[in-house]
Amino acid sequence: VSKTTKKASFSVQNRAKNVQELLQNARKRGLSVGFVPTMGALHAGHCSLIESAKSRCDWVVVSVFVNPTQFAAGEDLDRYPRQLERDVELCRAMGVDVVFAPDVAEMYADDAATTVRVGGLTERLCGAFRPGHFDGVTTVVCKLFQIVPADVAFFGEKDYQQLMVIKRMVRDLLLPVEIVGCPTVRERDGLAHSSRNALLSAVVRSRAVALYESLVESSRVVAAGERRAATIVDRARAHISASHPSRIDYISVVDACTLEDVERIDGPTRLCVAVVYGGCRLIDNVALGAPVGTG
C-alpha cells in the first residue's frame, strides 16, 4: 500500500452510507485506507494497531461498536465497558482520520436474516465454549468491510482464533482487504491488554497474571526441548489452577493454522488459554518456540 500525501480532517461518523462515500472518495483520490475495527474502551493494544495502520496507510479509520451478536445470552454485553467520548479523543490525538461509531440499528435491520459463518476453525477453542460467538464476529466484520473499503485491516494476535477466522473469511469470500495480525501488547506485569481488564478487581487482577506466567514458562520449557503437548498443558494447568480462577475453559496446544489439538510440538503451534477470573473471561496465547514479549 503506497503512502501519499494526506490529510482528512478528523470526523466522527455514525451513518454507514456517509462513511462509505467519504472513503470511496478518498480511494478514488489514490489514498490508501487502513482500518482498525474495535468494540471501544481503547487501550494500548488498540493504540499499537492504530500505529501500525498509520505507518502503512494514508487514512486510518477506527470503528467503535459493541457488537451484540457476538455475545451469547448471559455473557457480559451489558457490562462491557463503553467510553465513546474518551475513545474519540484518543483517536483524535493519535491522528486517526475517521471514527465510525454506529448504533445497533445502523448495523442491524430488525429483520436481518443473514449470517456469515466460517466452518471448522470456529468450532474449536473459544467456539466450543461460546456458541455463535464467531458467527457474530464474522457477520459484523464482513459488514464493516462493506462500509469501510479498507486496503488493510489490523487485528491483535491476542485474539488469535479471531484473527485466523477473519483471515479465512477474507480468503473464502475473496474480500479485497489484506488482514494484518499485530503482536499482543502487555501491561507491565505481562497481563495482555484487554478492555475487560477494567472489570477486574485489584486482587483478582493480580491473580490473573498467572496466565502470562504460564505462557512464559511453557515457552521456556519448549525452548529447552520439551515436545509433548500434554506435559505443557499439565504444567500450565497446575500453575493457573494455583491462582484460583473461577473456571478454566481450556488450555490447549494447537496447530497454528488449523487450531486442532496436537500431541507433539513439531511444526508451528500455539498454546491458547481461556480462563475466567472473578466473572471475567480472559484469553491469551503464545507461539511455542518463540519468546513472549512484554512490550
Catalytic residues: 46
Q: Which of residues 215-234 bind ligand PAF (CB under 6 A)?
A: none
Report the alpha-carbon distance of residue 219 to residue 213 in Å, rounded: 10
Question: What CA–CA distance (Å, rounded) separates 105 from 61?
Answer: 21
Alpha-carbon distance of 133 to 163, in angstroms, equals 14
Q: Could you say whether residue 284 binds ligand PAF (CB under 6 A)? A: no
Q: Which one of 53, 90, 140, 153 is in contact with ligand PAF (CB under 6 A)?
A: 140
In this structure, the number of other CB atoms found within 10 A of the CB of residue 26 comes to: 20
Q: Should residue 159 be labelled a site residue for ligand PAF when binding is judged by CB under 6 A?
A: yes
> Measured from the CB of residue 67, what is the shortest distance to ligand PAF in angstroms?
4
Q: Are 215 and 285 in contact (CB under 8 A)?
A: yes
Tell me if 37 contacts ligand PAF by CB under 6 A.
Answer: yes
Q: Which is nearer to ligand PAF, 82 or 228 (CB)?
A: 82
Distance between CA atoms of residues 165 and 167, nearest Å:
5
Query: Site residues for ligand PAF, window 99-138 (CB under 6 A)?
Result: 137
286: left (phi over 0), alpha (psi -120 to 50) or beta: beta
Between 141 and 288, CB nearer to ligand PAF: 141
In the sheet with 280-287, reading across from the earlier edge strand, the strands are 247-255, 269-277, 280-287
User: In this structure, are residues 269 and 160 in contact, taking their beta carbons and an 8 Å threshold?
Assistant: no
Provide the minimum distance between the beta carbon of 264 and ligand PAF in the complex, in angstroms, as a whole number: 31
Cβ of residue 229: shortest distance to ligand PAF, in angstroms? 27
Does position 236 bind ligand PAF by CB under 6 A? no
Q: Does 214 bind ligand PAF (CB under 6 A)?
A: no
Residues at the site binding ligand PAF, with contacts judged by CB under 6 A: 37-39, 67, 70, 137, 140-141, 159, 162
